[in-house]
Each structure stands twice: as structure tokens, then as C-alpha cells.
Amino acid sequence: MPEVVWFAAGLLVLVAATVALARAAGVGLGWSPLWSLSRAALQLTVVALLLRGILTVEWTVVAFLVLMAATASWTASGRLQELWHGRRAAVAGVVCGATVSLVLIFALGLVDFGVRYLVATAGIIIGNAMSAATLSGRNFLRATRLRRDEIEGWLALGATPATAHLEIGREAVREALLPNLDQTRSAGLVTLPGAFVGALFGGASPAEAAQFQLVVLGGIALCMTTCGIIVTRILGRTPYVSVVEHA
């Protein structure tokens, strides 16, 4: 029990430092770091309890994967609700991006098709699909507001909405992928990615951990690219021109 209390106290110190620093710098995060970590703690506790049953009753893994995909889709769709068909785009992007990546990973035999590996890999892939949907969608929204005149010019020349928004969508996807590509490029030199560290803690050899991490990085790149393209292509069909926000 003392270890649990000490652990909780340590987490609170980290969160308090984050909140204090953000407030001092005027970043405007408020208490979001505290609420986010509290929610994560609750969710991870529930997941840990669920996984005890899932790892012993294999068929329940399907329900758990559906739950993860639904939660990721719901979260991303909330971020894109300002956009035309934003919710639909987010759901389609997350589901398709994660599905394509996971199917290829296991069909190619890059990871053993076991419940433990499926849950671990799916969790990472689905989480990054959610990030890709949010980032590409928000980048798309920001760019359409900044380049409103360009879009109107295309439409005035008779272009379809999809054509008028095509380059904006491409740039939105590129910007969404840059952080992941930078992380992939610097893996092992600047950072030790989570999947690599997790595999080591799980008892895998350094070579096995590196192999798993490479599969994860490749899968993430595929799922994020697929998701970003789907999201921006759906959003690009909008018949409306984004309204410019005034300060």
C-alpha cells in the first residue's frame, strides 16, 4: 500500500509541475493536464481489469478491439465536428486506417497472431489512427480558412470542391505525418520508442524488441497515411467555403 501511495504522490507532483509551468507561461491549459491524467488512470485501471479476462477468454478480444476503435473514432470525431461531415470523416479514417495496417501486419506474419500481441499492436495502431484523423482534420480546417481566396478562385473556374481542396488536403496529411516520421527517423538515437521499451520490460531480447518496434513504426506510418488521406478526401468534398475567423 505505501508503494501505491508514493506512486500516486509522484504522479501528482509531475502534474502539478506541468500545470504550474503552463500557467506561469500563459499557455492556457488550465487544469487539463490533471483531468487528462486522472481520466487516463481510470481508463487504464478498467483496461487492466478487462485484460485479465480477455487474455484468458480469447473470443472477447473482438469486443475489446471494437471498444478501442469506437472510443478512438468518437474522440477524433469530436475534434472535427466544425467541419462538413467531420464526424463521418473521422470515423471512416480511424476504422479504415487501423484495419488496413493491422490486416497487413498479421497477414504478412510480421507479428505472431496471438491475443496478447493483437491487443498490444492494435492499441498502438488505433491510437495513432485517432491522432492522424485529428491532426489532418484540424490542419485541413486551418488551411481552408487561410486559403479561402484560393479555393474560391478554383470554384469560380468551374473546379469541383474535391479539386479545389485537393492540394490543401495533401498538405494537411503531410503536416500530420511529420511528427511520426521524425520519431521514426530518430528512433534508437534520440528516443527509445514505447513498444521497444515495453517489449524489453516484457522479457524480449533487444533484437526481438527492435524487430517489434520496426513493425509498429511501419504500421503506424501506413495507418496514419491511410487515415489522413481518407479524412481529407471526405472533407474536401464540402460544398461550402470555410468562414475566416477574425480575432
Report yes or no on 186 lying in a domain: yes
Residues 18 and 92 in one domain: no
DSSP secondary structure string for all residues of 23-63:
HHTT---TTHHHHHHHHHHHHHHHHHHHHHHHTTSTTHHHH
The residue among 10, 31, 54 that closes a domain is 54
pLDDT at residue number 119: 84
Report yes or no on 151 lying in a domain: yes
Residues 183 and 95 in one domain: yes
Number of domains present in the structure of the chain: 2
Report yes or no on 189 lying in a domain: yes
Report yes or no on 246 lying in a domain: no
Residues 50 and 116 in one domain: no
88, 98 in Cβ contact below 8 A?
no
Report yes or no on 247 lying in a domain: no
Report yes or no on 17 lying in a domain: yes
pLDDT at residue number 43: 78
Residues 84 and 202 in one domain: yes
Report yes or no on 95 lying in a domain: yes
Residue 30 zone, left/alpha/beta (φ > 0; ψ -120 to 50; rest): left
Residues 77 and 36 in one domain: no
Helix, strand, coil share (%) of the chain residues, nearest 5: 80, 0, 20
Q: pLDDT tens string for the chain (247 positions)?
A: 577 788 888 888 888 898 898 888 888 778 888 888 888 888 778 777 776 766 666 667 788 888 889 989 998 988 898 888 889 999 999 999 999 999 999 999 988 888 778 888 998 999 999 999 999 999 999 999 888 888 889 999 999 999 999 999 999 999 999 888 887 777 766 666 666 666 665 666 777 777 888 888 899 999 999 999 999 999 998 887 765 454 4
pTM above 0.85, yes or no: no
Residues 100 and 135 in one domain: yes
Residues 42 and 73 in one domain: no
d(CA 198, CA 120): 10
In which domain, by residue range, is 123 found?
Answer: 58-235
